[in-house]
């Protein structure tokens, strides 16, 4: 026979487990719905979050800018256009960075706009700059007088 205090503890544990499962389900439902984009700053943040530049082993770091427009549903309107690439870029660098930009746009679209933002941004071109951190320049010559030497 089960004593009353033990029965109450079992019941309490079941209630706690049910609450934990329900909160877990609510969290997973909340995570399934994308966070709505409500301003231009959030558009840029979302796009930068999707940006994956090519590895340094394949391409030199460059800056690249793409001009893109969205429709009300958050889909790309027309064709994105590259408007700027760093001058020192090779053809290989340009190609790999263009692909990386288009992949970032594909990962982030359709953009989950709020109704107000969808109406405000639809059809308006945005220039989005993607920067890749450049490694510090390597010195081409060594100058003895720049190094401190203790005699």
Closest CA relative to residue 116, chosen from 33, 39, 35: 39
Residues 123-147, mean pLDDT to the nearest whole number: 70
Does pLDDT of 148 surpass 90? Answer: no
Q: In the predicted model, is pLDDT for residue 5 greater than 70?
A: no
Instruction: Write the DSSP assignment of the chain as a string of letters.
Output: ---HHHHHHHHHHHHHHHHHHHHHHHHHHHHHSPPPB-SHHHHHHHHHHH--PPPTTTS----EEEEEEE-TTSPEEEEEEEEEE-TT--HHHHHHHHHHHHHHHHHH-S--B-HHHHHHHTT--EEEEE--PPPPPPPSS--GGGS----
Which pLDDT tens digit goes with each residue over 6-42? Answer: 555 444 444 454 555 555 544 444 456 678 999 999 9
State pLDDT tens for residues 75-134.
999 999 999 999 889 999 999 999 999 999 999 999 999 999 999 999 999 999 998 765
Helix 91-108 to helix 40-50 angle (10° resolution) is 120
Please say whether the beta carbons of 47 and 108 come within 8 A: yes
Residue 13 has a pLDDT of 47
* Global confidence as pTM: 0.66
């Amino acid at each position: 026979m089960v004593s009353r205090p033990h029965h109450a503890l079992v019941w309490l544990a079941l209630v706690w487990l049910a609450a934990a499962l329900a909160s877990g389900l609510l969290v997973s439902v909340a995570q399934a719905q994308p966070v709505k984009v409500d301003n231009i700053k959030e558009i840029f943040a979302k796009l930068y979050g999707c940006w994956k530049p090519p590895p340094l082993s394949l391409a030199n770091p460059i800056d690249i800018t793409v001009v893109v427009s969205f429709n009300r549903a958050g889909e790309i309107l027309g064709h994105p256009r590259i408007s700027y690439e760093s001058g020192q870029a090779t053809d290989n660098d340009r190609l790999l960075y263009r692909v990386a930009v288009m992949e970032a746009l594909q990962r982030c679209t359709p953009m989950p706009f709020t109704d107000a933002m969808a109406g405000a941004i639809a059809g308006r071109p945005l220039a989005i700059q993607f920067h890749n951190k450049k490694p510090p320049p390597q010195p081409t010559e060594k100058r003895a007088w720049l190094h401190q030497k203790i005699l």
